[in-house]
């Protein structure tokens, strides 16, 4: 029986901002999506590990994809892509009303998290928040899933982890957590009903 939902943020509870940024750069500047994602990921790792700051991240990323744009303008555009996935939010509210505990488990840069949390009051939707910049570990490192289990207060098999990236599901499954790959809100709703969570 599932007692806890552990959810990713971007791509599940919020829309998938990196994908929408990739589409924008492709349409406006002709940058192939695979190139954009490769350069974004490379620079994100530097940023997440605190080897660079916001200015360094965006300037290097824009240089890597050969886009001559003000870094602050691009940062603001990116952060304002995000919106709450209302259907997912409603599903989680239904689950919470049935006594399911909600935990957020997200890889987040400190200033991105502060901006998104202030804008959307994300903490108000969840019982517990686990974000990578506060734990000094990130998905898919097994340590962050162990933190989630500890915070959940239940057995791994009583937790359901939802993420839109398949690579993040494997380590959770290895320690006994049930997992769902998020594809779209409609499928998630069907999956949660099948599990009798909503």
**Cβ atoms of 20 and 93 closer than 8 Å:** no
Dihedrals phi, psi of 175, to nearest 5 degrees: -100, 10
Q: pLDDT means per 10 residues in the chain (198 residues)? A: 97 96 97 96 87 95 96 96 98 98 95 96 98 90 97 98 97 98 98 96
d(CA 103, CA 153): 11
Tell me what pLDDT residue 46 has: 86
pTM for the predicted model, two decimal places? 0.94
Burial class (CB in 10 A: 0-12, 13-18, 19+), 179: middle
Strands of the sheet with 4-7, listed across from one edge:
128-131, 101-106, 4-7, 159-163, 178-181
Tell me what pLDDT residue 49 has: 78
Q: Evaluate the omega torsion of the peptide bond into residue 113 and state whether it is cis, within 30 degrees of 0.
A: no
**Cβ atoms of 162 and 95 closer than 8 Å:** no
């Amino acid at each position: 029986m599932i007692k806890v939902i552990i959810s990713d943020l971007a791509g599940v509870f919020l829309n998938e901002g990196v994908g929408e940024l990739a589409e924008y750069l492709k349409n406006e500047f002709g940058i192939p999506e695979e190139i954009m994602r490769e350069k974004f990921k490379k620079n994100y790792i530097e940023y997440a590990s605190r080897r660079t700051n916001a200015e360094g991240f965006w300037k290097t990323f824009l240089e890597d994809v050969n886009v001559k744009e003000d870094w602050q303008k691009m940062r603001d555009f990116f952060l304002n892509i995000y919106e709450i996935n209302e259907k997912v939010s409603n599903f989680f509210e239904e689950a919470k009303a049935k006594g399911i505990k909600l935990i957020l488990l997200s890889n987040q840069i400190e200033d991105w998290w502060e901006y998104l949390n202030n804008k959307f009051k994300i903490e108000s939707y969840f019982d517990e928040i686990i974000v990578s910049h506060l734990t000094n570990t990130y998905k898919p490192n097994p340590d962050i899933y162990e933190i989630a289990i500890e915070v959940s207060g239940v057995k791994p098999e009583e937790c359901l982890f939802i993420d839109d990236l398949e690579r993040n599901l494997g380590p959770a499954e290895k320690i006994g957590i049930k997992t769902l790959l998020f594809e779209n809100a409609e499928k998630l709703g069907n999956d949660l009903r099948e599990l009798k969570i909503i």
